[in-house]
Structure 1
Amino acid sequence: MTTHTAPTPRFDMIGIVVSDMATSVAFYRKLGLDFAEGAEQEPHVEVTLPGGLRFALDTETTIRSFMPEWQPPAGGGRIGLAFLCADAADVDAQYAALTAAGAGTELKPFDAFWGQRYATVLDPDGNGVDLFAPLAAGTPGA
C-alpha cells in the first residue's frame, strides 16, 4: 500500500483590505513597492517582491463581492508590516517623508534597546508599518 503525502503549502502572498485603493497605492509606492500604472483604479492589485512573495491590496468592495457580510475590524489595524531601511538615518528620513505626506504615526523614530533605529507609521487604513535599521553591524535586522 502506497502512502500519499500532500505537498506542503508555500507562503505566497500578504493581502490587505483597503478602504481607498488610490490612497493605499500611493502610500506603498512611497515605500518602494512598484504597482503597475493605473493600479489606483483597480479593485485588486499586487506586486511580486524580491524572493517571489506577493503583496496584494483588495478594496472592501472586492471582499464584500464574495463575503457580503464582511466588516472592517473594530479599531483599525488589519495587519502589521515592517520595512528594512538602508541605515538609521534612512529610518528618520522615511518617517519624515511619510508623515509629511499624511501618514499617521504610532512611534516616532528612536534607538531601540534591541539594537535598531525603529519607528512606526500608519498606512491609510490604520495598519502599523514599522521602519527599522540596525544601529551597528551585527545587530538584529542587519
Structure 2
Amino acid sequence: MELRMNTIDIVVADLEASVAFYRRLGVEFKVDAAFPDHAGADLPGGLHLMLDTEPFRASTTPGWSKPSGGPRVFLAFQAPTPAGVDSTYAELIEAGYQGIKEPWDAYWGMRYATVADPDGNGVDLYCPLPAN
C-alpha cells in the first residue's frame, strides 16, 4: 500500500481566532455548521489544512492532552519579495500577534521572520534574497 501525506491538522484553542489569523495570510477556511469545532482549507498542490478545537481533539483521540512548551509546529509562507516579509510581519504585529523573530537576512539566503499564531505555533515568513 502506498500512502500519501495530504493533510495537516492543527489543534487550536479558539477556532474563530485561528481562522482570522490564517485568513490574514491568504488561507480561507470553511467551517461546516454540522461540525463547528472543525475547519478545513484546500491548499495548492492537493494539500489540506485543518483546524480542530482542543475539546474536539480530546473527544476523538483517547489520552490526548494539550502539549506544553514552545512551538511544536512551524508553517512557512513564502512572500513574493523580501519587502513582503517585512510588511506582512509588521501587519501581523500591528494586529496584535506575537513576534518570535523580527525580519532578518538569514545566512541561508532568505529574508526570514517568525510570528506566533493564536496558539503559539510558529509561522515563518520568508522570501529568497536576490543573488549578489
With normalisation by structure 2, the TM-score equals 0.91
Aligned counterparts, 1:1-142, within 5 A: 6=1, 8-36=2-30, 42-67=36-61, 69-136=63-130
Q: Aligned-residue CA RMSD in angstroms?
A: 1.9
State, as a whole percentage, how many aligned pairs show the same letter: 50
Q: How many angstroms does 1:47 deviate by?
A: 0.7
Unaligned runs of 5+ in 1: 1-5
Q: In structure 2, the residue corresponding to 1:97 is in which secondary structure?
A: helix
Larger radius of gyration: 1
With normalisation by structure 1, the TM-score equals 0.85
Q: Distance in 2 between matches of 1:19 and 1:76?
A: 15
Question: What is the aligned length?
Answer: 131
Aligned partner letter, 2:56: T
Query: 1:76, 1:125 within 8 Å by CA — same for their partners in 2?
Result: no
Query: 2:85, 2:112 within 8 Å by CA — same for their partners in 1?
Result: yes
Q: Distance in 1 between matches of 2:61 and 2:113?
A: 35
Q: How many angstroms does 1:78 deviate by?
A: 3.4
